[in-house]
Amino acid sequence: MKLELRGITKRFGDFTANDRIDLVVEPGTVHALLGENGAGKSTLMNVLFGLYDADEGEVLLDDEPVVFDGPGDAMAAGIGMVHQHFMLVHPFTVAENVMLGHEDVRGPAKLLDVEAARAKVREISERFNFNVDPDAVIEDLPVGAQQRVEIIKALSRDASLLILDEPTAVLTPQETDELLGIVKDLRDAGTAVVLITHKLREVQAVADTITVIRRGKVVGTAEPTASQEELASLMVGRAVTMRVDKEPAKPGETMLEVDGLTVVDAAGIVQLDDVSFEVKAGEILAIAGVQGNGQTELTEALLGVVPTDAGNATLDGEVITGRTIKEVLHSGIGFVPEDRTEDGIVASMTIANNLILDVHDKAPYAKGGALQPKVIADEARKHVEQFDVRATGIDQTTGSLSGGNQQKVVLARELSRPLKLLIASNPTRGLDVGSIEFVHKRIVAERDSGAAVIIVSAELDEVVALADRIAVMYHGRIVGIVPPDTDRDTLGLMMAGAHDEEEAA
Amino acid sequence: MTATVADAPAAPVSGAPIPPKKWGAAIALGVIALLSLIFFGFGTPAGSTTRFVIARKTDFIQLPSLTVPSELAAILLSLVGLALAGWVAYRANQRRKVGIWLPIVYGMAIMGALLTWAGAGREATSIQLTGLLTSSLFLAVPLVFGALAGTLCERSGIINIAIEGQLLAGAFLAALIGSMAGNAYAGLIAAPVAGALVGLLLAIFATKYWVNQIVVGVVLNMLVVGLTGFFFSTLMSDDPSLNQPIGLEKLPIPLLSKIPVLGPVLFNQNLLVYILYVAVAVLQIMLFKSRWGLRVRAVGEHPKAADTVGIQVNRTRIRNTVLGGAVAGLGGAFFTVASGLAFGKEMTAGKGYIALAAMILGRWSPRGALAAALLFGFADALRVQLGAIGSPIPSQFLAMTPYLATIFAVAGLVGHARPPASEGIPYKK
């Protein structure tokens, strides 16, 4: 099936997410839609899939204009979509998820024909060698298998055009390679595939055609033979360096020592399993791993948000586990949470107030129980300038800032205390390239000023670029700690749980 | 990697979590059995006897009444309870669960000990077993309908606190229409309409205006209390013919109703109770085996996933909430036409909230709702029976037992029950 988009425009209020986008996808090809986070790729596909109504423009299938009222229409027309956040009902089995929305029924009572759904799952699973059990419950499956269930879901309703939205964000490098193999098989079977991504390696590996989107506009097309630097500059709009400039680390005394830290969550599941490591002053320890392998629990346990069940952590000789969050913060820890809109800022409060969240009860910001607006405003102006926060003023609500500027506010607050340890979780997630460079620079500067730094990142590129040492986590354990020049395949295997003996560095 | 995927969930991975041993249930059951042994077992005067009457005089098959030595029986029954608690502990040590038979047998043993103790040495009175079971079922009827209503709504993602109001509205309209038509069945038809209207209001506020569902539910309860109270003290007191104590007659089912003990309990009932049996069975099958049920559960768990496969999330929720309201409204008919009573102000007396607890204890399934509601009904019936034979326990404490049972049930025993993931969260595109 041939898909054509003509002049698609989608606005959210004043913001134009898609600006007159044209796109043609030929059957039996892989069309990569390349762009930074927030460039408007997902919006475009949601328009195509019927989740959003386009303000202007039209969609043509095999040269016939079509209008989709909802995802149901899009699927009926042969379009399948694998969303970035999987659309799977967790307590359901694979077969139930696959049949949902177009269930076969049998018998006089018209009850569900589960056997038919099972057969369908088995058939597709065998055809593409997916190895998915139709009776497995989704929440028991690893992420890679869940993604294959999503693909089965699309194929089970005869999708001849498959949209994959950032499909590799949650996969290990090996799972990514497998997925790209599947994409090639699908293409060879005649399916048109739209691959939405910001990862250049994947594009080069499978794409037949590349369309680059920047700020809601198509800025060009490229051949798959184009170099990474060419693609990146097209995507970002200027020449970019693919690495972080930093001097070799000069590690000092051991600053943070974590010994046997264990966290069991409310449901009785061990989230952090006997984790021990140390970080020296003036070095960056990056924690790599697929999302959800205990990284969040580790950082939150160090801060004291999550209660620990065993083990302890000492910062510069002082035990920090079992103390209040306030005490931990003021003992010299800076914390950049992984979800800045949820945990990093109070969106409805002004920039100035967000900047003093941690010290609002201390002089000179408060005196005799009353806030000192003048002091707070002066301090805020200083920070806004220092951290290059682009805002109309310090009284703008933080929620109305762009992601990059919100993150700068968080950094400005957390770095304004004298730090012995900086913990940053996915500090550049969802940021534009300019902001990423800025954040990286500040983190390296903090290291160079003698603080110990822990970076958690799901992006292997970021880990490799920033780390002085890399710790890989899997299922709540640290699989190994390796030097930053370890090759990606080894790191990938470790992220999938393979034990690594070379505990170097 | 691919090769390991199919059996990945079963295969123990290094660092995979081992569930902790759960001792809570074993300890709770053990403590209760021990208290039962001390109070009911050793607290029974030696040498006294307790008489259980199994069949009523009107029953087709007459069974002799059973007289047991009180102390021995109470001690033995308590020991059975202790043994069962020990079994639970043994299984917990192996991280294994116990069958559904255990709580049932355990409950029967401890209740038996309690009854033996209460009836000990009272030559003039006896424990009416059939009567106890009949009134258990009778008192459970509104709870079952209420819990079914809650299950229907919450499975689709809407929290229905307004069950209380739906019961009350159903009770009111059943009495009004039944009296006007001079026919209790007309009331039975009217009751679900009243409940559905309350459900519709809840659905509109929840899906169109995204109002907090618990707040709306409580407000709706107040609204129904106010409205029915107003009409009761104006319309109905001005013209008493609009509020007559008319009742549904009993419809004994041939043969089945002749079975000893259970026959008269289960099969000599009015139409509303038979509707209840059918409703539980049909909803159990529909919710878990039909297309409709699959979609409803998907909407309650992950509405966006349902939306992306073309299921209308809010339409499903509205439909279920209205249907749930109708079911609760039908249950409301219990208070008036099914009991042969006239409508009275706030006559539902919190049953809607107990029904919510039954829904949770029943883990959001119709079958479970029935079992939980029967348990609560039994606790209530026990209070009535023990009060009647003049038990040594103050009736105020007995009156509390169903509510205490509710708190324990909701807080402790269902710690692992998981509500539909998206309940109470409005679906916004």
CA–CA separation, B298 and A180 (whole Å): 30
- Which residues in chain B are closer than 8 Å to A498, comparing Cβ atoms? none
Same domain as B168, residue B115 = no
Q: A364: cis peptide before it, omega within 30°?
A: yes
Can you give the pLDDT at residue B285?
96
- A73, A101, A133: residue with CB nearest B6: A133
Of chain B residues 26-45, which have a CB less than 8 A from chain A? none
Within-domain flag for B220 = yes
Of chain A residues 368-427, which have a CB less than 8 A from chain B? none
Nearest CA in chain A to B17: A270
Can you give the pLDDT at residue B18?
55
In degrees, to the nearest 5, what angle opens at C-alpha A41 toward C-alphas A40 and A46? Answer: 95
Can you give the pLDDT at residue A241?
62
CA–CA separation, A67 and A59 (whole Å): 7
Same domain as B356, residue B269 = yes
- Which residues in chain B are closer than 8 Å to A10, comparing Cβ atoms? none
CB contact under 8 A, B2 and A153: no
Given a cut of 50, whether residue A31 has pLDDT beyond it is yes
Exposed / middle / buried, residue A85 (Cβ in 10 Å: 0-12, 13-18, 19+): exposed
**Residue A276 CB partners (closer than 8 Å, separation 6+):** A258, A259, A260, A261, A311, A478
Residue A232 CA to chain centroid, in angstroms? Answer: 19
Can you give the pLDDT at residue A401?
84
Domain span at B74: 24-125
* Domain termination site, one of B84, B104, B125: B125
CA–CA separation, A18 and B135 (whole Å): 66
CA–CA separation, B307 and A85 (whole Å): 14
Same domain as B202, residue B331 = yes
CB contact under 8 A, B310 and A476: no
- A270 touching chain B per CB within 8 A: yes
Strands B66-69 and A477-482: unpaired
* Domain termination site, one of B100, B125, B150: B125
Going from the C-alpha of B396 to that of each of A20, A230, B120, B391, B401, the distances in angstroms are 74, 82, 21, 12, 9
Same domain as B352, residue B377 = yes
- The C-alpha of A278 sits at a distance from chain B's nearest C-alpha, in angstroms, of 21
pLDDT tens series, chain B, 429 aa: 333 333 333 333 334 445 567 777 788 888 888 988 888 888 887 778 888 887 766 666 677 778 888 888 888 999 999 999 898 888 888 877 777 678 778 888 888 888 888 878 776 677 788 888 888 999 999 999 999 999 999 999 999 999 999 999 999 999 999 999 999 999 999 999 999 999 999 999 999 999 999 999 999 999 999 999 999 999 999 999 999 898 898 999 888 888 877 888 899 899 999 999 999 999 999 999 999 999 999 999 999 999 989 899 999 999 999 999 999 999 999 999 999 999 999 999 899 999 998 898 888 999 989 988 988 888 888 888 877 777 677 767 766 766 676 676 666 555 556 789 999 999 987
CB contact under 8 A, A105 and B290: yes
Q: Where are the beta strands (DSSP E) in A29-180?
A: 30-34, 56-61, 64-66, 79-82, 105-106, 111-112, 161-165
Can you give the pLDDT at residue A113?
94
Q: How many CA atoms lie within 13 A of B47 on its CB side?
A: 0
DSSP, residue by residue, A315-370: ETTEE-TTS-HHHHHHTTEEEE-S-IIIII--TTSBHHHHHTTTTTTSTTTEETTE
Contact B361, B103 (CB under 8 A): no
Can you give the pLDDT at residue B68?
83
Same domain as B368, residue B247 = yes
Residue A176 CA to chain centroid, in angstroms? Answer: 15
Within-domain flag for B5 = no
Q: Which two tokens stand for residue A7?
A: 């002049």
Same domain as B154, residue B102 = no
CATH code for residues A3-236: 3.40.50.300
**Residue A349 CB partners (closer than 8 Å, separation 6+):** A397, A398
CATH number at residue B267: 1.10.3470.10
> Domain segments of chain A: what residues?
3-236, 243-332+418-505, 349-416
Contact A394, A385 (CB under 8 A): no
End-to-end CA distance of chain A: 54
Of chain B residues 270-309, which have a CB less than 8 A from chain A? 285, 289-291, 294-295, 297-298, 301-302, 304-309
* Domain termination site, one of B74, B108, B125: B125
DSSP, residue by residue, B129-150: HHHHHHHHHHHHHHHHHHHHHH
End-to-end CA distance of chain B: 37
CB contact under 8 A, A144 and B5: yes
Domain total of chain B: 2
CB pairs under 8 A between A and B: 132
Going from the C-alpha of B384 to that of each of B377, B378, B400, the distances in angstroms are 11, 10, 12
Which of A75-79, A421-425, A431-435, B372-376 shows the lowest per-residue confidence on average (mean pLDDT)? A431-435
CB contact under 8 A, A269 and B19: yes
- The C-alpha of B423 sits at a distance from chain A's nearest C-alpha, in angstroms, of 14
Same domain as B156, residue B75 = no
The amino acid present at A330, given as its one-letter code, is H
Instruction: Give the residue from B309, B318, B321, B187 showing the smallest Cα distance to B244.
Output: B187
Complex ipTM tops 0.95: no
Q: Which two tokens stand for residue A412?
A: 């400005």
Contact A470, A484 (CB under 8 A): yes
Of chain A residues 104-163, which have a CB less than 8 A from chain B? 105, 109-112, 129-133, 136-137, 140-142, 144-145, 148, 153
Quick count: other Cβ atoms within 10 Å of Cβ A165? 20
Contact A356, A383 (CB under 8 A): no
- A51 touching chain B per CB within 8 A: yes
Supply the Cα-derived Rg of chain A in whole angstroms. Answer: 25
Same domain as B358, residue B267 = yes
- DSSP category for residue A8: E
Contact B86, B109 (CB under 8 A): no
Can you give the pLDDT at residue A502?
46
CB contact under 8 A, B1 and A174: yes
Contact B325, B196 (CB under 8 A): yes
Can you give the pLDDT at residue A340?
84
Same domain as B266, residue B145 = yes
Phi, psi of B190 (to 5 degrees): -75, -30
The amino acid present at A142, given as its one-letter code, is P
pLDDT in tens, B228-277: 999 999 999 999 999 989 889 899 988 888 887 788 889 989 999 999 99
Instruction: Tell me if the domain spanning A243-332+418-505 has CATH number 3.90.1150.10.
Output: no
**Residue B397 CB partners (closer than 8 Å, separation 6+):** none
Exposed / middle / buried, residue A387 (Cβ in 10 Å: 0-12, 13-18, 19+): buried
